[in-house]
Structure 1
Amino acid sequence: MNSISDINLNNDYRHNCKINEPNLVILKCGEAGQIILPDTTPGGTTATIATVTIDTSKFCNPCTKLEFTSNIIATPTSPTAPVVGTLNFQVFRFCNDQQPIPIGGQFSLAVAQATAVPASTIFTFFVCDCNQCLNGCCTYAITVTAAGTIITGNIGVFAARLAAITVDNPE
């Protein structure tokens, strides 16, 4: 074998990795969560709404796709009062004893309901994380923040769920 072939073998993740489980995949669904942001909730109010924990210790180079889904229900406080507010959603990763790391950007949903009838919206997004903590568990959490100055009316985030699929990424 020539020296170039030796270098390629040494850099091949399968030869550097200490596991022998090709095509390892984890699919994990977190528990459903919910929160209600009542009328006059001040801007900046933040809550964790969904989490999922995955064990990446058997992966050489884990890459995870995280998908969040929820049902947003806007309910007026009176027949003539509108529901107005913006919700910002953010994914964070927690590994070992490290500080939370934001994954991807914020996802925003503007709620504007002028009628006295409650309105429902399905809100979903996904992000990928290929820079995970090795040799341990990662917990991903979704936070929701009331943006702006104040929420008018009641906005509920229901059936909020975070699902993760993790694969070994050869690159």
Structure 2
Amino acid sequence: MNSISEAILNNDHKQGRKSSEPPLVVSKCGESSQIVLPDATLGGTTVTTAVITIDTSKFCNPCTKLEFTSNIIGTAFAGALNFQVFKSCNNQQPLPIGGQFSFVVPVASLFANMFTFFVCDCNQCLNECCTYTVMVTVGGVNITGNVGIFAARLMATTADNPDLCC
């Protein structure tokens, strides 16, 4: 946790806060990552592009907005990349959060595009750490050309709704 997050996180936070108190809010940026998928990568190939872990132990009714951003660069690339966010709490099986987001290039091209999306998760595991992972799956049969996903990062903003706290 960085110093800004710690300053925002009130260590005296307890369930049953008065609704007149400001809601608890924490923002966190995941590490930047990158992957490269070479020519003829098989459809169905899945790789991790971004990961972030959120500690919800200080919240009584957390809701998290997850924002994914990346730069996608292709050389003679044609194909589909399907992005999906998954959540895992307490070493349980990962659960999908929101729908898939697709990046499709129908004709082999040279390009550099920014790709971003967000999802919200208001059904969190209380008093635990939740790990969110963005997975990318090659759609279709195979890709043509090479494609890289660079500066891939997941950012999370978690807020508490004190009106729904016990």
Aligned: 1:130 with 2:122: yes
Aligned: 1:155 with 2:153: no
CA distance in 1, matches of 2:151, 2:99: 22
**Residues 74, 113 of structure 1: 8 Å contact kept:** no
Displacement of 1:19 in angstroms is 6.4
Aligned: 1:94 with 2:92: no
CA distance in 1, matches of 2:39, 2:85: 25
**Residues 43, 147 of structure 1: 8 Å contact kept:** yes
Larger deviation: 17-26 or 47-56?
17-26
- The count of aligned residue pairs is 148
Q: Point out the structure with max Rg over C-alpha.
A: 1
Which residue number corresponds to residue 47 of structure 1?
Answer: 47
* Pairing 1:85-124 to 2, within 5 Å after superposition: 85-115=79-109, 118-124=110-116
* Counterpart amino acid of residue 165 in structure 1: T
CA distance in 2, matches of 1:114, 1:162: 28
Displacement of 1:111 in angstroms is 1.9
CA distance in 1, matches of 2:133, 2:44: 18
**Residues 49, 134 of structure 2: 8 Å contact kept:** yes
Match of 1:17 among 15, 18, 28: 15
Match of 2:157 among 148, 162, 165: 165
Q: 5+ unaligned residues in a row in structure 2: which ranges? A: 1-13
**Residues 108, 145 of structure 2: 8 Å contact kept:** no
CA distance in 1, matches of 2:107, 2:146: 10
Q: Normalized per residue, which structure has more strand?
A: 2
Displacement of 1:112 in angstroms is 3.7
Please report the TM-score for the alignment, with normalisation by the length of structure 2. 0.84
Please report the TM-score for the alignment, with normalisation by the length of structure 1. 0.81
CA distance in 2, matches of 1:139, 1:86: 26
CA distance in 2, matches of 1:134, 1:69: 27
**Residues 43, 145 of structure 1: 8 Å contact kept:** yes
What percent identity do the matched residue pairs reach? 66
* Counterpart amino acid of residue 113 in structure 2: T
Displacement of 1:136 in angstroms is 1.1
